[in-house]
Structure 1
């Protein structure tokens, strides 16, 4: 659960305790409200009233998890959307002669407005590196916190670059090109799925309305003739 909270943006020491406290309060509040509501329906049997109260308690138990899952999904999507721009900035900064730590900090500063979630994560990486944490370890922490395969792949390439002594700029350039090709393939796949996804709205939403507009007047005239 702590990993989910971290990916949702809650990395404080007390956030996990606060989460479970909120779940407990939600269960109590929902249960009390449901119990009070059953008193307005005296025709309800005791078993039905108990089921309603238990359902309310379960709702209070599940709802915080659903909210955290939604926040996690939205934040990861925002980070994923900002990663291509960050990768291009990485390539530009490294090819300009900046070191990896300075590059990460510069990218975090540049993306603070457009992609604040990714900028926050990159800022945390530079903070860890300034405290003496190895850069690969700090980047692995970034991949673990975000859970993105794109960042995991970048960290793996940087690790290989450090172990085999290859240039970081060349590594980033190759990964950027591969990532751009991957995005293009994903865009083509999504475009190919559009026709299939449009079948349902066309069949059940647009075609009935078109049928009514196109054929409706003719049907009315037929009825008038037979009258």
Structure 2
């Protein structure tokens, strides 16, 4: 199979499977795209595309940069997460821009993705920036396992993925476009845009910052570099990664 139809056919297959298993077939087909949107796993954008006939369709974007460094279950949970935003846009009442409301959180729980601002049990379920974790034995977990028994796979992934984030990525939902200002995209509703927290920023230069624990002098260098401070009061203290 050719790369383009193969990659997109797999995502379409997953969308159709989850639409049937988790949403009762309520969701209309949308245009699934692969986007290397900076610092995101994916997003939902309502009525983003228009056909020359005048027909409009939503967009669910997936970031292939992370396909190689996340499990297939984690990647597919992002797809399901964005499908919840699509469901709420057409069948519910989205919160104000950037806010994940109780309706969104309840629907996430129903499909077996627990909303949490920390990505761990006990986190807040609603708010400006949210993520989720997969509920063991929940609807998504069961549906995903059933899909994976069919030899399903994501065949194509980025050869040069970014550094895997050290903590779960919060998402900006309810129409908050993050860097994409809604004023610049009139009529466009972006939801579920995922941003890296400062601790897990992507470092394309492959350089990190080191700091002397005594005098706080700072240097930049490659990972795992050993640097000793030459300050008179520092006693050759080893610089620590910041």
Same fold by TM-score greater than 0.5:
no
TM-score, structure 1 normalization: 0.27
Higher share of residues assigned strand: 2
| Greater share of residues in helix | 1
